[in-house]
Amino acid sequence: MPEFRADLHCHTTCSDGTTSPEEIVRMAASIGLSGLSITDHDSINAYEIAAPVAQELGIRLLPGVEFSSIFRETSIHILGYGFSLKSLPLRTFCQRHLERRKNRNQAILERLKKEGMAVSEHELADAKPLDASHRHHTPGRPHIALAMVKKGYVKTIQEAFYKYLGEKGTCYVPGEPFSIEETIEIIHQSGGIAIIAHPHLIEKRSIKKQLLSMAFDGLEAYYAKFPPWEEKKWVQIAEEKGWLITGGSDFHGEHKPYITLGCAWVNEEIFNRLWLHYKQHE
């Protein structure tokens, strides 16, 4: 039997990935993954297209999402897994995030315009090739960065983030802040599990410490380019707290070409724990 591997963190064209929901499931099958969770930013739209393809290919597709939240002026990503895709609170929450993104994009574009770098909203939609999932597409900062590269304002996406769009950039706008507490609450109401995404990326020690005392169910200990000692550290923290451990690549397609699907994954035991939870709350 080939080794069981499940990638629990990846993005499609429904948020800021460049691979469509159908393609990503086909890609997962072609590299021999047995399980997958698509965790688009603030959106579960990919599942409508991805679920039948996964069924056809025999891939176990676990519902997932990556919500943006703000805690003490710091952006914190929260992964939700195993919720019901029909859940009204979760769907309403995604809709509210969509509104937040629209308003935020407008505010960022206004700032860019003032700095002599006009980008129109339809140029964000053009920032990736059209495909069947395009109507579900939620533009964010990576699309703004790509449009800026295309228009010659910056040479690379990294430069766009460093100078203008990143948290320390001159055109950064955080957008309406969604709290961690509310996000966890919505995930739980929907029958899901709430996980701290890539905790190693949180710079402030005091924030990490506070997060560990919140109502999360687990943390993401396996991640692309995580050094083994970081993995060990987070596995140990999760075990001490009796928390679940998750992991995945955070694949974004061409937006992050150095990360491949399946480069970080969880084993069958971890996957089954989440899967069982999902089946009990489906």
Contact residues: ligand AMP, CB under 6 A: 16, 41, 68, 140-142, 157-158, 161, 166, 252
Q: Which partner in Fe ion, ligand AMP, Zn ion, none is near 275 (CB below 5 to 8 A by kind)? A: none
Task: Tell me the two tokens of residue 97.
Answer: 């995030």
Q: Which partner in Zn ion, ligand AMP, Fe ion, none is near 166 (CB below 5 to 8 A by kind)? A: ligand AMP
Strands 193-196 and 74-81: antiparallel
CA dihedral in degrees (229, 230, 234, 236; nearest 10)? Answer: 10
Whichever of 37 and 112 has its CB closer to Fe ion, that residue is 37
Residues that bind Fe ion (CB under 5 A): 66, 77, 197, 250
Whichever of 16 and 23 has its CB closer to Zn ion, that residue is 16
Q: Which residue has the tokens 């159908």?
A: 22
Q: Cα 142 vs. chain centroid, distance in angstroms?
A: 13
Q: How many CB atoms lie within 10 A of CB 167?
A: 10
Shortest spacing between CB 174 and ligand AMP, in angstroms: 9
Whichever of 136 and 141 has its CB closer to ligand AMP, that residue is 141
Shortest spacing between CB 280 and Fe ion, in angstroms: 26
Whichever of 89 and 166 has its CB closer to ligand AMP, that residue is 166
Shortest spacing between CB 50 and Fe ion, in angstroms: 16
- With beta carbons less than 8 A apart as the criterion, state whether 79 and 190 touch: no
What is the sign, positive or negative, of the torsion defined by CA atoms of 135, 139, 143, 144? positive
Gap between the Cα atoms of 178 and 197, Å rounded: 16
Whichever of 10 and 54 has its CB closer to ligand AMP, that residue is 10
Q: Which partner in Fe ion, Zn ion, ligand AMP, none is near 217 (CB below 5 to 8 A by kind)? A: none
Q: Give the DSSP letter string of 37-99.
A: ----BT--THHHHHHHHHHHHT-EE--EEEEEEEETTEEEEEEEES--TT-HHHHHHHHHHHH
Residue nearest to Fe ion as judged by C-beta position: 77
Packing angle, helices 21-30 and 46-57, rounded to 10: 30
Whichever of 35 and 142 has its CB closer to Fe ion, that residue is 142
**Between the CA of residue 39 and those of 24, 45, 231, what are the distances in Å?**
12, 10, 20
Task: Tell me the two tokens of residue 14.
Answer: 């429904």
Shortest spacing between CB 103 and Fe ion, in angstroms: 21
Gap between the Cα atoms of 81 and 15, Å rounded: 17
Shortest spacing between CB 68 and Fe ion, in angstroms: 8
Shortest spacing between CB 68 and ligand AMP, in angstroms: 6
Residues that bind Zn ion (CB under 5 A): 16
Residue nearest to ligand AMP as judged by C-beta position: 140
Shortest spacing between CB 69 and Zn ion, in angstroms: 14
List Cβ neighbours of 86 (8 Å cut-off, separation of 6 or more): none
Whichever of 134 and 232 has its CB closer to Zn ion, that residue is 134
